[in-house]
Amino acid sequence: MTKKALALLPQRLLGTGAQIIGTVHDEIILEVSDGLAEEAAVILKETMIQAGKTYLGKVPVEVEVAIGETWSEK
């Protein structure tokens, strides 16, 4: 699911200034300007849900998104 989302994200993030800077297990870490964090969070969440549905079909996909100033903030 994460790899599928990583394949979809670059196109969806165009124009937001968001950059994919890493992954940890099933997490995708983005770096985004302060004013665009909420928009990028919505794009990330929707993309992760779509990627999950590719494999899980009608099984509900739950995604949590957090915004923080540093990597340690969740």
Q: What is the pLDDT of residues 58-73, one digit of tens each?
A: 999 999 999 998 877 7
What is the token pair recorded at 37? 């964090």
Task: Tell me which long-range contacts 36-42 makes (C-beta under 8 A, separation of at least 24).
Answer: 37/67, 38/67, 40/13, 40/16, 41/65, 41/67
Query: Does the residue 72 lie in any domain?
Result: no
Name the pLDDT band for 74 (thresholds 50, 70, 90): low
- Whether 33 contacts 17, CB under 8 Å: yes
Query: Does the residue 63 lie in any domain?
Result: no
Query: Does the residue 67 lie in any domain?
Result: no
Query: In the prediction, which pLDDT does 72 show?
Result: 76
What tens digit of pLDDT does each residue of 18-66 get? 999 999 999 999 999 989 999 999 999 999 999 999 999 999 999 999 9
Owning domain of residue 27: 2-56
Query: Does the residue 7 lie in any domain?
Result: yes
CA distances from 49 to 22, 32, 34, 35, 55 (A): 19, 20, 24, 24, 10
